[in-house]
Amino acid sequence: MFQKDRFIENCKSAVGDGQKAIRELVLEAVADPSGIVSELGEPTKAGVYPLYQANDLTVINFVWAPYMTLFPHNHNMFAVIGIYSGREDNIFWRRIDAGAGGGTRPGIEAAGADSMGPGQVATLGRDIIHSVANPIAKLTSAIHVYAGDFFNPPQPRSQWEHETLVEEPWHMDHSRAAFRQAEIRYKAGLAAGLNV
């Protein structure tokens, strides 16, 4: 049965052993979605819920609103993402040189995609750029484990504007605003009887 404190202690012990060790812990955790819900509570609101934060490790419970998307971004640290309810679609991006595709400045282009459901895990290397979408009409919940301080990264992170794909500095405030706006849309949909 999933226990938050034991999971965090196991991650603290394993982070020095690398991404594969963390992946095994996250796989074990999301194999018991009802245990996670029992321990953390039934997700009712979109948001970023830190479970643990230190210089070498951050554990977060992410809850995505229905149809929510988050702009392309990087982490500059490895990450392991495990879904325990709903569905998460990732688009993976790669950097392109200035002038590629007729552009005048460096940017990114789509390079692949993955769709995950409960019990599935994604491993993201430190240089991966991805964007995230919840493609369904209900909340999606995931445990994210990062090999560093997600909220105060030692190396500046980047995000890319949705429409233009122009790179800009990453700020947690932008991510929190995206979750707030998605939650407002979700509540409005519930009030109108549009969400399942």
Please state the domain count of the chain. Answer: 1
Distance CA 60, CA 11 (A): 12
Classify residue 147: in a domain, yes or no. yes
Per the prediction, the chain carries an average pLDDT of: 92
**pLDDT tens digit sequence for 92-136:** 999 997 655 555 566 899 999 999 999 999 999 999 999 999 999
Residues spanned by the domain of 107: 4-191
Domain membership of residue 196 (yes or no) is: no
Q: What is the pLDDT of residue 101?
A: 54
Q: At what angle do helices 19-30 and 33-40 cross, to 10 degrees?
A: 90
Instruction: Check whether 83 has a pLDDT greater than 90.
Output: yes
- Interval 46-69: pLDDT, tens: 999 999 999 999 999 999 999 999
- For residue 10, being part of any structural domain is answered with yes
Look up the CATH number of the domain holding residue 93.
Answer: 2.60.120.10
| pLDDT value, residue 69 | 93
